[in-house]
Amino acid sequence: MAKTVIPTNAAELEEMLGDTSKLQNVMKEGQFSEFMENYARHVHNKDKELGEQVRQQTALTVAEMLGQDKVTNEVKRLNQAALKNNGGGFTARKGAAYNKRAPGAAIDNIMDGPAEFFQSIWHHRDTLSNSGDLENKAAQIKKVQNSFGSTVPADGGFLIPETLRSEILSLSLENSIVRSRARVIPMESLRLPIPMVDSSSNVSSVFGGIVCYWTEEGATFTESQASFGQMVLEAKKLTGYAEVPNELMADATAFGSFFDQTFPEAMAWYEDDAFISGSGTGQPKGFLNAGAAVTVAKESGQAAATIQWENIVKMYARMLPSSHRNAVWIVSPDTFPQLATMALNVGTGGSAIWLQNGAGDAPMTILGRPVIVSEKVSQLGTAGDINYVDLSYYIIGDRQSMTATSSPHFKFSSDKTAFKIVERVDGRPWLQTAITPKNNGSTLSPFVQLATRS
């Protein structure tokens, strides 16, 4: 029996699969697997573009799969941005924080990656094989930086390319708590006024003065207007410092790996620390110190440094109703033992709230909202050890420029180079006071914390 002719396009394949006798012949001949493989090979050879599209889509799918939390601890995450930009090199790896108008965007095409940038500002660059090229590129960066003299703070050092700056911030987003959930506003100057609705009550109006009426046809309208206030973001200087062995500096690949992992995580850690608990003087103002924060009192007779289910329920009730879909719990690590064993009292008995028989992973949600464990909030028993917050009400002003400086002198005896990276950023809670709801009940806020239990 002659073998079935292989279809050459989708229409012929559809026709063959719709013909029962032909399909039965393929099965009888035992050539179905061979038939499908040959058809796929035939189409691939005929349409190279389709094959390339399949290859790229497969790569993106794998990258997205590897981006999932359960996999990243075992497999190094693929650079999805490079795949989507269909290329490699420094300019293809633009992070989510990239801003084409930032000062550093003008030097994106000069350097080939972070390792080369830091080698170019290294005092031993003349010992490298590509020293002449690095010298030329460093001069180009300085030339661009000088042309931005009115917008780039004059602290010395080299302006960091925008692609690298955004890459640092994008990598830090994976480790940050606040920045990844806050509203980030680019700052083109060191000081940026931000409008805000000046409202503290919804009892008689909303948004600080807007009143709506049901009006008969032809009746006179009653005027009303919103009351606006102003908050000011003033860029504060965050300086990152590191000492790098000169042997590591000479190895571009090794240094690039060190930089990609270390600096973004460090900057995210210190940013978060200020965005959470900063005083607002010389640093951002953290949400723990927000004027709009609501503090839920402890229960009558509650023992020191304890957590009760009633605390959690009452905190949930003080969140702005519109914020529940964005809100997260941010808790101290030492709260976990009590959260894990917290029980709801029912008469003379009770039942566990969080864990069920201790089986499987600990559920990281409370009342359906994610739980983030962080050492940056207050310790157990003090105000702010448990927080329920909507960080979309937190504003971050990003100056959109970074500079880097190296020193050969400070650690000369240790054969190390000291590097300093400076970024300018500010952060403040957007809502200034808690809101009294329409029903004149307890005040509501996007920043809710549990009071001290002592």
pLDDT digits (tens, 9 = 90+) for 14-51: 677 666 677 667 666 666 666 666 666 665 565 555 55
pLDDT, position 444: 96
Residue 290 lies in a domain: yes
Q: Are residues 364 and 451 in the same domain?
A: yes
pLDDT of 338 reads 93
pLDDT above 90 for 436: yes
Q: What is the mean pLDDT of the chain?
A: 76
Pairing of strands 294-296, 447-450: parallel
Provide the phi-psi class of 247: left if phi over 0, else alpha when psi is between -120 and 50, else beta.
alpha
Residues 30 and 109 in one domain: no
Closest CA to 283 of 424, 73, 138, 129: 424
Query: Can you give the pLDDT at residue 275?
Result: 97
- pLDDT for 7 beyond 80: no
In a domain, 66, yes or no: no
Using a cut of 0.85, tell me whether the model's pTM lies above it.
no
- Answer whether residue 78 is part of any domain: no
Q: How far apart are CA 13 and CA 328, in angstroms?
A: 52
Residues across the chain: 454
Using alpha carbons, list the distances in angstroms from residue 133 to 61, 109, 144, 172: 38, 14, 17, 30
- 261 within some domain: yes
Residues 113-142: what's their mean pLDDT?
A: 71
Query: What region does 301 belong to: left with phi over 0, alpha with psi -120 to 50, or beta?
Result: left
Q: Give the residues across from 427 on adjacent strands.
A: 396
Residue 70: inside a domain, yes or no? no
Domain that holds residue 30: 10-59
Residue 75 lies in a domain: no
Confidence of residue 247 (pLDDT cuts 50, 70, 90): confident
Tokens standing for 136? 């030329």
Q: Please report, to the nearest 10 degrees, the dihedral formed by the alpha carbons of residues 40, 41, 45, 49 taken in order.
A: 40
Tell whether 146 and 19 lie within a shared domain. no
84 in a domain, yes or no? no
Distance in angstroms (rounded) separating the CA atoms of residues 172 and 168: 6
> Cα 170 vs. chain centroid, distance in angstroms?
7
Structure tokens at 62: 């794998």
Together in a domain, 190 and 298:
yes
Are 181 and 299 part of one and the same domain?
yes
Among 135, 140, 73, CA closest to 110: 140
Question: Does 405 lie in the same domain as 257?
Answer: yes
Model pLDDT, residue 147: 53
Residues of 208-243 as b/e, b for ≥16 C-beta within 10 angstroms?
beeeeeeeeeeeeeeeeeeeeeebebbbbebebeee
52/116 same-domain check: no
Residue 435 has pLDDT above 50, yes or no: yes
The conformation of residue 68, written as its DSSP 8-state character, comes to S
Buried b (16+ CB within 10 A) or exposed e, 37-56: eebeeebeeeeeeeeeeeee
Residues 133 and 255 in one domain: yes
Other Cβ atoms within 10 Å of 350 Cβ, number: 12
pLDDT for the residue numbered 31: 65
Neighbours of 321 (CB within 10 A): 9
- pLDDT-based confidence at residue 204 (cuts at 50, 70, 90): confident
Residue 100 shares a structural domain with residue 43: no
DSSP reduced 3-state for 228: strand
**Quick one: which of 425, 389, 12, 435 has its CA closest to 198?**
435
335/103: higher pLDDT: 335
The SS3 of residue 11 is helix
pLDDT-based confidence at 439, cuts 50/70/90? Answer: very high
Report which of 334, 331, 315 is spatially closest to residue 323, judged by C-alpha positions.
Answer: 315
> Confidence class of residue 73 from pLDDT cuts 50, 70 and 90?
very low
Contacts of 403 (CB under 8 A, 6+ apart): 152, 153, 155, 156, 157, 158, 159, 160, 421, 422
Q: What are phi and psi of 412, to 5 degrees?
A: -60, -40
CB 93 within 8 Å of CB 79: yes
Domains contained in the chain, number: 2
Rounded to the nearest 5 percent, the helix, strand and coil shares of the chain are 35, 20, 40
> In this prediction, what percent of the chain has a pLDDT beyond 90?
30
- For the residues 227-252, what does the mean pLDDT come to? 81
Dihedrals phi, psi of 374, to nearest 5 degrees: -140, 135
Residues 333 and 382 occupy one common structural domain: yes
CA–CA separation, 46 and 42 (whole Å)? 6
73 part of a folded domain: no
A 10 A CB-CB count for 255 gives 21
Same domain, 105 and 173: yes
Q: Hey, is 188 helix, strand or coil?
A: coil
Same domain, yes or no: 142 and 225: yes
Instruction: Average the pLDDT over 245-259 and give the result.
Output: 70
What's the CA gap between 147 and 374, in Å, rounded? 42
